[in-house]
Amino acid sequence: MDKKQAQEKIAELRELLNQYNHEYHVLDHPSVPDAEYDQKMQELRKLEEEFPGLVTADSPTQRVGGEPLDAFQKVQHNVPMLSLGNAFNANDLRDFARRAAQGTDDPISFVCELKIDGLAISLTYENGTFVRGATRGDGTTGEDITSNLKTIRSIPLSIKEKETIEVRGEAFMPHKSFVAMNKEREAKEEEPFANPRNAAAGSLRQLDPKIAAKRSLDIFLYGVGEWEAGTLESHSERLDYLKELGFKTNPEWRKCETIDDVIEYVEYWENERPNLNYEIDGIVIKVDNLAQQEELGFTAKSPRWAIAYKFPAEEALTTLREIELSVGRTGVITPTAILDAVKVAGTTVKRASLHNEDLIREKDIRLGDTVVIKKAGDIIPEVVRAVEDKRTGNEKEFFMPDECPACGSELVRLEEEVALRCINPNCPAQLKEGLIHFVSRNAMNIDGLGEKVIIQLFQENLIQTIADLYRLNREDLLQLERMGEKSVANLLKAIDTSKDNSLERLLFGLGIRFVGSKAAKTLAEHFETMENLQHATYDDIIAINEIGEKMADSIVRYFAEEEVTELLSELKSLNLNMEYKGPKKQDIDEDSEFSGKTVVLTGKMEILTRSEAKAAIEQLGGSVTGSVSKKTDIVIAGDDAGSKLDKAQKLGITIWNENQLREVLNN
């Protein structure tokens, strides 16, 4: 066989094998016996051995070829992978529908999907070939786990169209594989995995793809990330298209026209859930129309166009032995139940939050009670109620103290708050919690300065405020237990290095109420220096899209405090950086035709590629979005522009052709 003949044969075999694979792993409907598949695979392997130059990364022989890695590479998600807000009952769902209806004019349809309990994954295809798969990570940066994902047989190595597209879904371990794997692990005296989600995550984080290959993982795709050429108008069309391309989508999704239909779907699956052969932890509800999705937009944390309904959690019984009180970073006193150890939803629980005194009274929870424990959102243990029938008469009522357990000052209850607070700004427990937050990973990220060291520094009276941290010297630190010359030197270096952190880390570290790490980043990007933010008014802050009223109010109040001004000037004189160092929003030409405008590109362009056009418009201060809504300012239509152009005409939006765009760009 010469090379040309081999090439043809190889192409033919690959197509057949891809088809068999799709039928077996995606459609669950094989058309040939396994032996035939194996025989064709063998034939392909032999040919590829003979003509190694013809091996390609997307050949069916390459699923488990990868060598073990030393570490995973980081992958940037250009379209962030967000998480969803939660709903726990029908009322929450109705609220969600009401809010959505208020944010858009036309009636809304929803798509309901099963919420698969696995690991969010992004898959990138370039010109139809699978090139990269990544974990969600923190939503903006994930890890490249391409070799492990290639071992999942339902992931196509090439798709039916030569699309460049990033698709998203959930990798999971089916029940059957989970039970089998744990049995095997127990036989080998290895620790079994607590649940299928941990098992899936554990498998995909193996550096050796051969291990992932043995774990029989699967994946359902439910969304699209980056997709320049995307023209579809609804989520349901996208689900259909994903299936058409050869991806495995979950067949149980349903389009619902009303929130009552959504609730019916939710109730149906609450009962049917045990009959599935994979784990689900709720239902995801999405606004179907993509233009409406865009109109509704996002809060700092999650989209306004989707919500996750969480099924009620598994419960267990145990005894409440004691109630411990702790003082948080903002002075709130939190009672915690100390429990006899009990297993709930896969882990052992010994402590559970009781939230506040009102809740203890309301639920009439007493020391010594038998209590029902559940895990809220299947993660955080919670005391649900006391079991009155089991009382012996020896149970004791619990009362909150009048004084702070840490500093002894009188506790207060602020207006409209249920929590008791210690309002002493110098309460050591609050300062300590504040410092633990300040040095933490998402804040100033000071290596070697964990909770234990902070507690020691407090006990030895070496620090009281954030500023004190930057005044520590070698002699101070050498006094601490288990601190030798080397660790002291390392710690001092880490503290010193943190001075150069970009502004958002310091902002988050300060612990301003309601300002999380994402909001801190937004603020830093927008205001660029601490000084600008200190002088910003409520109106300046609220003008930022992602910042809500509560947060803006809290920021203004925070910077109005005299102690804060003092602390910041102290930190400045200690040489802490107070400027944003991240990528600058591009220097924008304010007089440009596109400044502040929302632009949609549609149809085929002749001279510019779509990404060139997009980059140029953004450079001139415009933002380019994917679908037409009443917020769109300009639609630029190339040849064969379809429904987006129709819609723009209907809405009376300014429409340009490619020549007009080029003219503006040339100027």
Sign of the alpha-carbon torsion through 43, 45, 48, 49: negative
Instruction: Output the smallest distance, CB 217 to ligand IVH, in A.
Output: 14
User: Which residue lies nearer to ligand IVH by CB, 80 or 405?
Assistant: 80
Q: How many CB atoms lie within 10 A of CB 419?
A: 18
User: Which residue lies nearer to ligand IVH by CB, 82 or 512?
Assistant: 82
Please say whether the beta carbons of 512 and 558 come within 8 A.
yes
Q: Residue 572 to residues 103, 354, 564: CA-CA distances in angstroms? A: 43, 40, 12
User: Which residue lies nearer to ligand IVH by CB, 156 or 303?
Assistant: 303
Which of these ranges, 80-88, 501-509, 515-523, 568-576, lies near ligand IVH under the rule CB under 6 A?
80-88
The total number of residues written for the chain in this structure = 667
Cα separation, 324 vs 334, in Å, equals 8
Instruction: Output the smallest distance, CB 136 to ligand IVH, in A.
Output: 6
Helix (H) or strand (E) holding 625: strand 623-625
Q: Which conformational region is residue 593 in: left (phi greater than 0), alpha (psi within -120 to 50 degrees), or beta?
A: alpha
Instruction: Output the smallest distance, CB 88 to ligand IVH, in A.
Output: 14
Q: How many CB atoms lie within 10 A of CB 93?
A: 21
User: Which residue lies nearer to ligand IVH by CB, 284 or 420?
Assistant: 284
Please say whether the beta carbons of 552 and 300 come within 8 A.
no
Q: Is 133 in the site for ligand IVH (CB under 6 A)?
A: no
Exposure pattern of 210-248 as b/e (b: 16+ CB <10 Å)? ebbbebbbbbbbbbbbebeeeebbbbbebbebbeebbbb
User: Which residue lies nearer to ligand IVH by CB, 84 or 533?
Assistant: 84
Radius of gyration over every alpha carbon of the chain, rounded to an integer in angstroms: 29
Q: How many CB atoms lie within 10 A of CB 167?
A: 28
User: Which residue lies nearer to ligand IVH by CB, 58 or 281?
Assistant: 281
- Report how many residues bind ligand IVH under the rule CB under 6 A: 14
Which residue, judged by CB position, is nearest to ligand IVH in the bound state?
120
User: Any catalytic annotation for residue 115?
Assistant: yes
Sign of the alpha-carbon torsion through 583, 587, 588, 590: positive
User: Which residue lies nearer to ligand IVH by CB, 138 or 646?
Assistant: 138
Please say whether the beta carbons of 432 and 511 come within 8 A.
no
Cα separation, 560 vs 548, in Å, equals 19
Instruction: Output the smallest distance, CB 97 to ligand IVH, in A.
Output: 17
User: Which residue lies nearer to ligand IVH by CB, 114 or 600?
Assistant: 114
Instruction: Output the smallest distance, CB 304 to ligand IVH, in A.
Output: 10
Instruction: Say how far residue 627 (Cα) sits from the centre of its chain.
Output: 24
Q: Is 199 in the site for ligand IVH (CB under 6 A)?
A: no
Which structure tokens are listed for 486? 């080397």
Q: Mask: binding to ligand IVH, 13-32, rule CB under 6 A, as x and -?
A: --------------------
Exposure pattern of 266-303 as b/e (b: 16+ CB <10 Å)? beebeeeeeeeebbbbbbbbbbbbbbbbbbbebebeeb
Q: Which residues are 307's β-sheet partners?
A: 285
C-alpha angle with apex 313: 307 to 315, nearest 5 degrees?
165
- Spot the catalytic one: 4, 40, 115, 493: 115
Instruction: Output the smallest distance, CB 284 to ligand IVH, in A.
Output: 4
Instruction: Output the smallest distance, CB 298 to ligand IVH, in A.
Output: 9
User: Which residue lies nearer to ligand IVH by CB, 84 or 296?
Assistant: 84
Binders of ligand IVH among residues 417 to 446 (CB under 6 A) are: none
Tokens 């009959």 label which residue?
275
Q: Is 626 in the site for ligand IVH (CB under 6 A)?
A: no
Q: Mask: binding to ligand IVH, 146-175, rule CB under 6 A, as x and -?
A: ------------------------x-----
Instruction: Say how far residue 303 (Cα) sits from the centre of its chain.
Output: 11
Which structure tokens are listed for 56? 């390609």
Q: Is 84 in the site for ligand IVH (CB under 6 A)?
A: yes
Which structure tokens are listed for 136? 């969600």
Which of these ranges, 79-87, 363-371, 417-425, 514-522, lies near ligand IVH under the rule CB under 6 A?
79-87
Helix (H) or strand (E) holding 507: helix 503-509
Which of these ranges, 21-29, 108-116, 328-336, 656-664, lies near ligand IVH under the rule CB under 6 A?
108-116
User: Which residue lies nearer to ligand IVH by CB, 376 or 616?
Assistant: 376
Among 39, 56, 83, 348, binds ligand IVH (CB under 6 A): 83
Q: Mask: binding to ligand IVH, 110-129, rule CB under 6 A, as x and -?
A: ---x-xx---x---------
Q: Is 641 in the site for ligand IVH (CB under 6 A)?
A: no
**Sequence-separated contacts (24+) of 564-570 with Cβ below 8 Å:** 564/510, 565/534, 567/465, 567/466, 567/467, 568/530, 568/534, 570/467
User: Which residue lies nearer to ligand IVH by CB, 115 or 432?
Assistant: 115
Instruction: Output the smallest distance, CB 84 to ligand IVH, in A.
Output: 4
CA proximity to 142, closest of 174, 166, 158: 166
Binders of ligand IVH among residues 305 to 324 (CB under 6 A) are: 306, 308
Please say whether the beta carbons of 515 and 555 come within 8 A.
yes
Q: Mask: binding to ligand IVH, 572-611, rule CB under 6 A, as x and -?
A: ----------------------------------------
Which of these ranges, 77-85, 207-215, 315-323, 370-378, lies near ligand IVH under the rule CB under 6 A?
77-85
Instruction: Output the smallest distance, CB 281 to ligand IVH, in A.
Output: 8
Which of these ranges, 143-151, 300-308, 374-382, 460-468, lies near ligand IVH under the rule CB under 6 A?
300-308
Binders of ligand IVH among residues 254 to 293 (CB under 6 A) are: 284
Cα separation, 634 vs 645, in Å, equals 11
Q: Is 60 in the site for ligand IVH (CB under 6 A)?
A: no
Q: Is 222 in the site for ligand IVH (CB under 6 A)?
A: yes
Instruction: Output the smallest distance, CB 280 to ligand IVH, in A.
Output: 8
Binders of ligand IVH among residues 398 to 417 (CB under 6 A) are: none
- Give contact residues for ligand IVH (rule: CB under 6 A): 82-84, 113, 115-116, 120, 170, 222-223, 284, 303, 306, 308
Residues known to be catalytic: 115
